[in-house]
């Protein structure tokens, strides 16, 4: 009886067919069940692994000082925000974090969002709309694209880091306002956008730049202030966003820019206005995390040492490490099946490195996304390098 009813529900039956198809195509994704803190050595699916999967680039996600701060802040501010920011949800801890972030990145003001995804979805639609145009790098993160669609502005994509094509598009545009939107550090490539060139185009064509620094914040620039600091760039034409769940080790995101931009977003960014903020204790923890980032020059130096070690000890002829000075060190394999068997082979050796395939990356550029963290030791990285060297020799024979 119930079975018959289930078969009649065509929507649900369609979902099942879709899932079955993904499974037969080898595209069904599975979550690993984690039974340890996020760290370089994890327990996932009841097994111990050396992990190169996390975006916790400075190793702060399990930092004793941050754990203690979160516990203490929960004690004095509770565990829930209770209402949206514009009602009674805006706690002093949120406010302190915003001021701390603005000062740290050298911008007049900042606004905290619950996640990076929500920030990108809310901000683009608030800043531009019908009659305006967004110019986006082809390899931008999915949520920048989503935010662009929601904005109803014209949407132009240019090839990855291609300044000349971008200039042609800007030159041809008759839009009222023009906004270039790009990842500052690309999540699957680890390379850095040509930010000085973008700013020059903004000045030439009266455009603005929205930069997503999810992978640069905490890692690049003076004391980890991010990609803008890396290039020593400041401009009222720039609005930056960064996530706080990666190098900052906690959760959330912020947008920083001119005071008028932030004031306007508080009124109009829907994912800010109509959403309950993350608990104040999280903001208190993040303020402490910004302190650790700022004092973390030795962590960043160690991270750079690990990158050097990886580059020096990989002896590969076929697979290639892509050029990157960031914590994201992708190993280009090319073939989809090959990258999956490589990732599975490493897993059998107790090492987790995710295989990234199209459509996440362009066709024929399947890769391992190796992400390094200051929590890794030299011997962790040597273990990975040796496993990869051996895997290439064995898979060719
Ligand atoms: C992770 C990521 C986001 C999303 O941030 P969350 O806080 O995880 O929602 C946005 N942009 C880029 C480039 C990212 O890598």
From the alpha carbon of 120, which atom of ligand 1 is closest? 10
- State the CATH architecture for 64-294: 3-Layer(aba) Sandwich (3.40)
Query: DSSP strand E in the chain: where?
Result: 41-44, 47-51, 109-113, 133-137, 154-158, 178-183, 207-212, 238-243, 253-257, 320-321, 328-334, 351-352, 355-356, 366-371
Question: Given this model, what pLDDT does residue 381 score?
Answer: 98
Do you know the residue count of the chain?
397
pLDDT in tens, 62-111: 999 999 999 999 999 999 999 999 999 999 999 999 999 999 999 999 99
Positions of CATH 3.40.640.10 in the chain = 64-294
By alpha-carbon position, which residue is closest to atom 10 of ligand 1?
A: 116
By alpha-carbon position, which residue is closest to atom 14 of ligand 1?
A: 214
Question: Given this model, what pLDDT does residue 359 score?
Answer: 86
Q: How far is the CA of 53 from the centre of ligand 1 (A)?
A: 15
Q: How far is the CA of 231 from the centre of ligand 1 (A)?
A: 22
On whether the pTM is more than 0.75, the answer is yes
CB atoms under 10 Å from CB of 29, counted, come to 5
Question: Given this model, what pLDDT does residue 73 score?
Answer: 98
**What is the rounded CA–CA span in Å between residue 9 and residue 342?**
41
Question: Given this model, what pLDDT does residue 25 score?
Answer: 81
Positions of CATH 3.90.1150.10 in the chain = 28-58+296-396
DSSP string computed for 295-348: T-HHHHHHHHHHHHHHHHH---SSSEEPP-SSSEEEEEEE-HHHHHHHHHHHHH
Question: Given this model, what pLDDT does residue 150 score?
Answer: 93
Question: Given this model, what pLDDT does residue 1 score?
Answer: 60
Question: Given this model, what pLDDT does residue 6 score?
Answer: 65
Closest by CA to 186, choosing from 397, 371, 1, 376, is 371
Tell me which residues of the chain have a pLDDT lower than 50: none
Question: Given this model, what pLDDT does residue 7 score?
Answer: 65
- Which residues, judged by CB distance below 6 Å to any ligand atom, belong to the binding site of ligand 1? 115-117, 120, 141, 143, 183, 187, 212, 214-215, 243, 245, 253
By alpha-carbon position, which residue is closest to atom 8 of ligand 1?
A: 116
Two structure tokens written together for 178? 């023009």
Two structure tokens written together for 61? 């996600």
Question: Given this model, what pLDDT does residue 195 score?
Answer: 98
Task: Select from 3.40.50.1390, 3.90.1150.10, 3.30.379.10, 3.40.50.720 the CATH code of 28-58+296-396.
Answer: 3.90.1150.10
- Our CA dihedral for 384, 389, 390, 393, rounded to 10 degrees, sits at 160
Q: State which of 138, 189, 240, 243 you would mutate to test the pocket of ligand 1, scoring each by most atoms of that ligand within 8 A of its C-beta.
A: 243
């Amino acid at each position: 009886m119930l079975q018959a009813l289930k078969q009649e529900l065509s929507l649900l039956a369609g979902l099942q067919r879709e899932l079955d198809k993904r499974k037969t195509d080898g595209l069904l994704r599975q979550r690993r069940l984690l039974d340890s803190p996020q760290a370089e050595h994890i327990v996932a699916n009841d097994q111990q692994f050396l992990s190169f999967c996390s975006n916790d680039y400075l190793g702060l996600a399990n930092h004793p000082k941050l754990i203690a701060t979160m516990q203490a802040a929960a004690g004095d501010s509770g565990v829930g925000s209770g209402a949206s920011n514009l009602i009674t949800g805006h706690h002093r801890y949120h406010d302190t974090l915003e001021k701390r972030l603005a000062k740290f990145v050298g911008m007049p003001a900042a606004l905290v969002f619950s996640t990076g995804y929500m920030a990108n979805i809310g901000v683009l639609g608030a800043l531009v709309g019908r009659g305006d145009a967004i110019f986006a790098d082809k390899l931008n993160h999915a949520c920048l694209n989503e935010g662009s669609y929601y904005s109803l502005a014209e949407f132009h994509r240019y090839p990855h880091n291609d300044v000349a094509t971008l200039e042609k598009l800007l030159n041809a545009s008759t839009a009222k306002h023009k906004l270039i939107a790009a990842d500052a550090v690309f999540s699957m490539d680890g390379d850095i956008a040509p930010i000085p060139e973008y700013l020059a185009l903004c000045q030439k064509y009266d455009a603005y730049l929205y930069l997503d620094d999810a992978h640069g914040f905490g890692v690049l620039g003076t004391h980890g202030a991010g990609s803008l600091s890396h290039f020593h760039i400041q401009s009222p034409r720039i609005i930056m966003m960064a996530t706080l769940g990666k190098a900052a080790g906690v959760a959330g995101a912020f947008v920083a820019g001119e005071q008028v931009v932030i004031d306007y977003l508080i009124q109009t960014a829907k994912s800010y206005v109509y959403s309950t903020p993350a608990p104040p204790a999280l903001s208190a923890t993040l303020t402490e995390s910004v302190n650790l980032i700022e004092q973390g020059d030795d962590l960043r130096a160690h991270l750079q040492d690990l990158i050097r070690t990886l580059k020096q000890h990989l002896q590969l002829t076929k697979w290639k490490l892509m050029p990157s000075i960031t914590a994201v060190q992708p190993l280009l394999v090319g073939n989809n099946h090959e990258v999956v068997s490589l990732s599975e082979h490493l897993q059998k050796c107790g090492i987790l490195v995710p295989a990234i395939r199209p459509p996440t990356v362009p066709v024929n550029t399947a890769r391992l996304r190796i992400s390094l963290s200051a929590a890794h030791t030299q011997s962790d990285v040597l273990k990975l390098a040796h496993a990869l060297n051996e895997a290439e020799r064995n898979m060719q024979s």
